[in-house]
Amino acid sequence: MRNVPETGRSLAVLDASRIAANLRALFAGHRFSPSQRRIARYLLDNAQEAVFFTSADLAERAGVSQPSVTRFAAALGFRGFPEFRDALRMSVFAEQPPDTSAGRLNEIQELVNSEIRDLERLRDGLADPAQLRRVAGSLARSSPLLVMGLRISAPLAHLFGYLAEKVLPDVRVLDVPGSVLEDRLGRAAESGAEWVLAIGLPRYPRELAEGLLWARRVRLKVALVTDQPVGRLAELADEVLPAPVSSDFAFDSHAGPVVLCTALLHTMLDVLADEGQARLEAFDDRAAERQVFLTG
């Protein structure tokens, strides 16, 4: 690793919030892989040093492979890392983009504001992340990992399962109630499963409570993502992770539970450390080789 020049340390006087705003403008509108998001997060925290890095330096600091850094630059539309680094330097030294937000909010914007307030509540509730880390560790060690979601909760269960299987060897999403659910819970317990992540959003299906009862009967532990920290479903769980559900729109908005599940996945990846990152890198490599995703 090269030593950062003295001029790099002198950049500390620059306005960090201005730099972060410029970087977010640079990254805006781009869809990043998990490894690429890891690079983006590192740059947001360390842009003043990173303007002097080579691609190998950035890869080592961000904990990813050098090809991931190259793909990150390409995803932003640059022809190579040197061209990206020039843009990074402009983001560090350029003035902050002007704030164009002004005027009164319309009805839909006010509804979005209510969602933002719910997310702030969620943020404040995670001031002590000890429970999130504890649950993430338990779920990451469960093989297979079960993810249960019925009716309105099924899409979020599938999203969690889709992302979790990038870093875990065996993830099973359970979205069919009744005897089929009982059979799958029982077989998973026999295969070594220890935990089921259940998602219970309003309106709460009776079949979900029955499924949680059966999970406990086959000696599975339950982590529950729900909007109510107390109640019938919470009584059936070993760990309850609450996230507010906004009811101000015509239909409930699940931004809070989605963010909480994403935070849980993020923490699981941290728990898995090098093993999880290696699996993400392998997925990115296979996807690039097969040209799974559009690049333009």
Q: What is the tens place of the pLDDT at every residue in 126-139?
A: 999 999 999 999 99
Would you say residue 294 lies in a domain? no
Q: Are residues 234 and 133 in the same domain?
A: yes
Share the mean pLDDT of the chain.
Answer: 85
Would you say residue 281 lies in a domain? no
Residue 203 has pLDDT above 80, yes or no: yes
Q: Are residues 121 and 52 in the same domain?
A: no
DSSP 174-242: E---THHHHHHHHHHHHTT--EEEEEE-SSPPHHHHHHHHHHHHTT-EEEEEES-SSSHHHHT-SEEEE
Would you say residue 264 lies in a domain? yes
Looking at residue 188, its amino acid is A
Q: Are residues 174 and 220 in the same domain?
A: yes
Query: Please, what is the Cα angle at 168 between 145 and 152, to 5 degrees?
Result: 50
Written as six digits, the tokens of 79 are: 């022809």
Q: Which of 98, 117, 141 is the endpoint of a domain? A: 98
Would you say residue 63 lies in a domain? yes
Would you say residue 161 lies in a domain? yes
Q: Are residues 219 and 244 in the same domain?
A: yes
Q: For every residue of 72-93, which 3-state class applies, written as one string? A: HHHHCCCCCHHHHHHHHHHHHH
* Residue 296 pLDDT level (bands cut at 50, 70, 90): low
Q: Which of 98, 128, 144 is the endpoint of a domain? A: 98
Residue 28 has pLDDT above 60, yes or no: yes
Q: Which of 81, 98, 115 is the endpoint of a domain? A: 98
Q: Are residues 134 and 235 in the same domain?
A: yes
8 Å CB contact between 156 and 201: yes
235 Cβ partners below 8 Å, 6+ apart?
A: none
Assign 3-state DSSP to the chain and report helix, strand, coil percentages, each to 5.
60, 10, 30
Would you say residue 138 lies in a domain? yes
Q: Taking residues 208-224, report their average pLDDT.
A: 95
Written as six digits, the tokens of 271 are: 């728990």
* Residue 7 pLDDT level (bands cut at 50, 70, 90): very low
* Residue 170 pLDDT level (bands cut at 50, 70, 90): very high
Q: Are residues 10 and 86 in the same domain?
A: yes
**Which residue in 78, 22, 296, 49 sits closest to 70, CA to CA?**
78
CATH of the domain at 259: 3.40.50.10490
Q: Taking residues 280-284, report their average pLDDT.
A: 84
For position 100, what pLDDT does the model report?
A: 42
Would you say residue 91 lies in a domain? yes
Label residue 1 exposed, middle or buried (CB < 10 Å: 0-12, 13-18, 19+).
Answer: exposed
Residue 151 has pLDDT above 90, yes or no: yes
Q: Taking residues 209-230, report their average pLDDT.
A: 93
Describe the strand order of the beta sheet including 145-149 as a list of residue ranges.
171-174, 145-149, 195-200, 221-226, 239-242
CATH of the domain at 25: 1.10.10.10
8 Å CB contact between 202 and 154: no
Query: What is the number of domains present in the chain?
Result: 2
Q: What is the pLDDT of residues 49-61, one digit of tens each?
A: 888 888 888 988 8
**Which residue in 117, 88, 83, 119 sits closest to 24, CA to CA?**
88
Q: Are residues 51 and 80 in the same domain?
A: yes
Q: In this prediction, what percent of the chain has a pLDDT beyond 70? A: 91
End-to-end, the C-alpha distance of the chain in Å comes to 33
User: What is the domain range of residue 81?
Assistant: 6-98
Q: What is the pLDDT of residues 65-123, one digit of tens each?
A: 888 888 888 888 888 888 888 888 887 876 554 444 555 778 888 888 888 888 998 99
**pTM of this prediction?**
0.71
Q: Are residues 113 and 198 in the same domain?
A: yes
Would you say residue 288 lies in a domain? no
For residues 87 and 193, the model is more confident at 193
Q: Are residues 155 and 33 in the same domain?
A: no
Q: Are residues 61 and 189 in the same domain?
A: no
For position 8, what pLDDT does the model report?
A: 43
Q: Are residues 259 and 138 in the same domain?
A: yes
Q: Are residues 113 and 190 in the same domain?
A: yes
